[in-house]
């Protein structure tokens, strides 16, 4: 098979669209590998590392689209890729299209939010233009320099606007899911989150507990870094304090540096509305507890009496924050892998878009005599694969205990109950939440109850945050 690159000059598509097209092209007969990427230096480096960069791709500029293939019949594969690129998503023909922010503002003068999804090198420029135009901004793009993030958030504060991100993958704005978000009912609980899958898990648990979400504001994984100083979080708290539809507030983050935590907690104390602060992992705080505290209701406890087993837990996760939470609950000595990490997604779609990536790891865990339990997440919602449970069920899961959680709602395109039914039909034990699944796995392999976890704090007045500088954002 031959590696071939084809260039479409001055053609830009967002990363989610390109990941979906890459997945479809890679699945074509005779295609061993495929990746469609904008020709930025970082993307060309990823293609080179994957062995998919050829001379034509090396010449691409940051405004060009590279179609990279390894196929038996490159011409046929390129023709198929071109046809897929020309397809329009269902309903897309009815949507207005423009080639600039100014033209879009003229077409939709009532718009109040701009979503920026361009290569990171250009994202700050476009976000600044949107802010100068009086628009709130969600920056989906990653690889935005830290100094640009700080400057943009300061500009947004001066103008009384919100700057969500960069690298913000999830939001729920006035009932509208943005990017990787779920279909949850409107309600009176506002969420501020530095984690995409953290926001997804808490918002869907709130929905399943009978509550609803007024706003879900993602701030980007670096916002509580000491260098950014929680500028986005503080602005989001201001917005929710002034939002008449929001009666309660939930704040989700990994433990920030002490100085940043003090600043945030002092701001929360001045808000008259009831607030729940969940610094994930601080004193054992979990996303499940945050949702329970916000709604005043409890998820069902694990009542299954599973046979105890020897061995370690193999945690194979699509959502990075869900992986971190489960690993915290299970404790040391187990194997947890965030399959959405950079090392697994170079030149490949994120596993929330293409969960087939996880199956090769599941197969190895099933064959490993040291593994006693396999623990997985299944994340539903807009942007995610249409049937992630079905993809997981392609494995023969009968040889080991497999425990899963499903992050989603009935209103999601995949359907929560349908996904749960698919998993159970394949022999998977489905828990009520990610934390419940991790607790069940820990209890099963150890033969003892998992470590207790105190409830998320309804009041931050006595919180004693410890140093925990955030790493790269986990979905």
Q: Can you give the three-state secondary structure of 415-456, one letter per residue?
A: CHHHHHHHHHHCCCEEECCHHHHHHHHHHHHHCCCCCCCCCC
Model-level pTM?
0.85
Paired residues of 248 in beta bridges: 189
Superfamily (CATH H level) for 312-446: Succinyl-CoA synthetase domains (3.40.50.261)
Indicate where the chain has its CATH 3.30.70 domain(s).
2-86
What CATH number matches the domain at 2-86, 3.30.2310, 3.40.50, 3.30.70, 1.10.150?
Answer: 3.30.70
Checking phi first, is residue 30 left (phi over 0); if not, alpha (psi -120 to 50) or beta? left
CA 111 – CA 134 distance, rounded (Å):
10
pLDDT tens-digit profile of 236-269? 999 999 999 999 999 999 889 899 999 999 999 9
| pLDDT, tens only, 274-316 | 999 999 988 779 999 999 999 999 998 888 888 899 999 999 9
Tokens of 426: 């394949």
- Please report where in the chains the tokens 């080991």 appear, as a residue: 400
Nearest to 409 by CA among 252, 169, 202: 202
Quick: pLDDT tens for 327-381: 999 999 999 999 988 777 765 678 898 898 899 999 999 999 999 999 999 999 9
> Is the Cα torsion angle 356, 361, 367, 373 positive or negative in sign?
negative
CATH 3.40.50.261, the chain: domain bounds: 101-295, 312-446
Quote the tokens at residue 254. 């990994």
* Residue 27: burial class (beta carbons within 10 Å; 0-12, 13-18, 19+): exposed
Q: Calculate the dihedral angle through the C-alpha atoms of 20, 23, 26, 32, rounding to the nearest 10 degrees.
A: 130
Summarised one tens digit per residue, pLDDT across range 395-433 is 999 999 999 999 999 999 999 999 999 999 999 999 999
Q: What are phi and psi of 265, to 5 degrees?
A: -65, -35
Peptide bond into 27 cis (omega under 30): no
Q: pLDDT tens across 71-128, in order?
A: 999 999 999 998 988 886 555 556 777 878 888 888 899 999 999 988 788 899 999 9
Residue position matching structure tokens 């090769």: 360
Its CATH architecture, for the domain 101-295, is: 3-Layer(aba) Sandwich (3.40)
């Amino acid at each position: 098979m031959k590696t071939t690159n084809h260039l479409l000059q001055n053609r830009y598509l967002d990363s989610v669209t390109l990941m979906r097209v890459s997945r479809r092209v890679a699945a074509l007969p005779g295609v061993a590998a495929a990746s469609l990427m904008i020709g930025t230096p970082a993307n060309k480096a990823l293609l080179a590392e994957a062995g998919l960069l050829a001379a034509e791709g090396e010449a691409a500029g940051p405004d060009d689209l590279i179609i990279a293939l390894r196929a038996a019949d490159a011409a046929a594969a390129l023709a198929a890729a071109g046809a897929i690129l020309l397809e329009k998503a269902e309903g897309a023909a009815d949507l207005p299209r423009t080639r600039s922010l100014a033209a879009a503002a003229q077409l939709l003068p009532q718009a109040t939010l701009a979503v920026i999804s361009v290569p990171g090198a250009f994202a700050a420029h476009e976000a600044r233009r949107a802010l100068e135009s009086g628009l709130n901004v969600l920056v989906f793009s990653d690889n935005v320099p830290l100094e640009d993030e700080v400057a943009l958030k300061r500009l947004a504060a001066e103008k009384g606007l919100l700057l969500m991100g960069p690298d913000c993958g999830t939001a729920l704005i006035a009932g509208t899911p943005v990017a990787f978000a779920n279909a949850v009912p409107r309600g009176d609980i506002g969420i501020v989150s530095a984690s995409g899958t953290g926001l997804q898990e808490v918002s869907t648990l709130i929905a399943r507990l009978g509550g609803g979400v007024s706003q879900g504001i993602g701030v980007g994984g670096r916002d509580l870094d000491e260098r950014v100083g929680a500028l986005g979080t503080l602005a989001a708290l201001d917005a929710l304090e002034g939002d008449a539809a929001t009666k309660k507030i939930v704040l989700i983050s990994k433990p920030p540096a002490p100085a940043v935590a003090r600043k945030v907690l002092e701001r929360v104390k001045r808000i008259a509305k009831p607030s729940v602060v969940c610094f994930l992992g601080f004193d054992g705080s979990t996303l499940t507890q945050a949702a329970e505290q916000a709604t005043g209701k409890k998820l069902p406890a694990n009542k299954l009496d599973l046979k105890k087993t020897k061995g370690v837990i193999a945690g194979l996760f699509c959502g990075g924050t869900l992986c971190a939470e489960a690993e915290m609950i299970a404790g040391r000595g187990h194997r947890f892998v965030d399959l959405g990490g950079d090392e697994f997604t170079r030149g490949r779609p994120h596993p929330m878009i293409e969960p087939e990536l996880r199956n090769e790891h599941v197969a190895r865990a099933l064959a490993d005599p040291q593994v006693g339990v396999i623990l997985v997440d299944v994340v539903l919602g807009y942007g995610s694969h249409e049937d992630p449970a079905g993809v997981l069920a392609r494995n023969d899961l009968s040889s080991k205990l497999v425990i899963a959680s499903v992050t989603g709602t009935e209103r999601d395109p995949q359907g929560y109950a349908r996904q749960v039914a698919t998993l159970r039909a394949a022999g998977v034990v489905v828990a009520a939440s990610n934390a419940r699944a991790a607790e069940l796995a820990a209890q099963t392999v150890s033969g003892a109850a998992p470590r207790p976890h105190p409830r998320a704090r309804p009041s931050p007045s006595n919180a004693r945050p410890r140093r925990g500088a955030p790493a790269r954002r986990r979905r």
